[in-house]
Amino acid sequence: MSTQSNAVPDSPLDSQALPPATLSETRPLYWSVRRELWENHSIYVAPLAIAAVYLLSFTVSAIWLPNNMREVWMPHTMREMATLKVADTLIGLAMPYTHATALVGMVAFLVGIFYSLEALHSERRDRSILFWKALPVSDLTTVLSKAAIPLVVLPLIVLAVSVVLQQIMRLLSMAVLVMNGGSAAPLWTRLPLSDMELVTLYGTVVIVLWHAPIYCWFLLVSGWARRAVFLWAVVPWLAIAAMENIAFHTSFLGRMLHGRLLGFGEAAFDLKDKNGVPIDTHFIPLTQLTPGRFLSSPGLWLGLIVAAAFFLAAVRQRRYREPL
């Protein structure tokens, strides 16, 4: 054991001589987001994995299946091209690409939900909250970094994965067509991938803004519940909706919840053509986007206000949180 004389070596230092403690305001946020990616590999692995599975299926279909089966997946053979109307051709061409994006988006949504449910719970469960709170990172920065995963990082991953996946799919399709003695030109000229990517970008932003209160609610519950976070996050809503239905024979809450999950479509897209006929959502032309209507939608702004309230409550709550 060291003695007290060892304990106090003669090296008096002026406490005022410490170097200035300055860091850019965004640096802790940047590193906190990186920390989330280190801890939660599923944020990028799951979208990549589903993209890989989809690409594999698409490849198998394109290369190995007989022509009639291949046409289900790749209805853009030269023979079929020649017999279809322009609009049908477009939808046929776009379908697998739209499916790919939708699948990646749905997986990202699920990852975002389960991430949010864990985000402020796991640090209390494994007691690491004591380590994080011993560092000069504010609760605001910490919760912001966690909210950034479903609200910023996952959408960016969806966009990147979708774009790369669609490009690979198109190159693969072209290669198969050429190897079968056909022409790859229609896939350049008739498949408006850049338009589809713009729709994907728009749709991703729309969906994230629309779902923001869902993610923020789950973050709040993950910081509050001691256990069974998923049940605490979901069951109260279902119970209240059921009670409303039984007691008053109404379903306002149920419709509200349904609208919060899927209502972005009506606000952000015009899903009928000029004749009032529903359009095929496998290919949504740019003309059907309604950003003005979306931005003036009360559902958007009410949702964002609620999301901000949940977010601030989660920040405040983290101040009081201790290990479980």
Q: How many CA atoms lie within 13 A of 28 on its CB side?
A: 15
Query: According to the binding rule CB under 8 A, does residue 183 interact with another protein?
Result: no
Q: Which is nearer to another protein, 190 or 321 (CB)?
A: 321
Q: Which of residues 31-60 bind another protein (CB under 8 A)?
A: 31-32, 34-35, 38-39
Query: According to the binding rule CB under 8 A, does residue 22 interact with another protein?
Result: yes
Q: Which is nearer to another protein, 21 or 82 (CB)?
A: 21
First to last CA, the chain: 35
CA distance 225 to 231: 10
CA distance 20 to 93: 60
The dihedral sign for the CA sequence 273, 275, 276, 277: negative
Residue of the chain from 14, 86, 276, 287 that contacts another protein (CB under 8 A): 14
Q: Which is nearer to another protein, 88 or 126 (CB)?
A: 126
Residue of the chain from 65, 75, 99, 133 that contacts another protein (CB under 8 A): 133
Query: What is the total count of residues that contact another protein (CB under 8 A)?
Result: 46
What x/- string results for residues 88 through 127 when contact with another protein is judged by CB under 8 A?
A: -----------------------------------x--xx
Query: According to the binding rule CB under 8 A, does residue 23 interact with another protein?
Result: yes
Query: According to the binding rule CB under 8 A, does residue 194 interact with another protein?
Result: no
Q: Which is nearer to another protein, 32 or 116 (CB)?
A: 32
- Quickly list DSSP for 255-315: HHHHHHHHTHHHHHB--B-TTSPBPPTTS--GGGB-HHHHHT-HHHHHHHHHHHHHHHHHH
Query: According to the binding rule CB under 8 A, does residue 322 interact with another protein?
Result: yes
Q: Which residues pair with 278 in a beta bridge?
A: 272
CA distance 266 to 102: 17
Which residue type is seen at 54? Y
Residue of the chain from 26, 68, 136, 276 that contacts another protein (CB under 8 A): 136
Encoding tokens for residue 56?
């594999």
Residues that bind another protein (CB under 8 A): 1-4, 6-9, 11-15, 18-23, 27-28, 30-32, 34-35, 38-39, 123, 126-128, 130-131, 133-139, 141, 319-320, 322-323
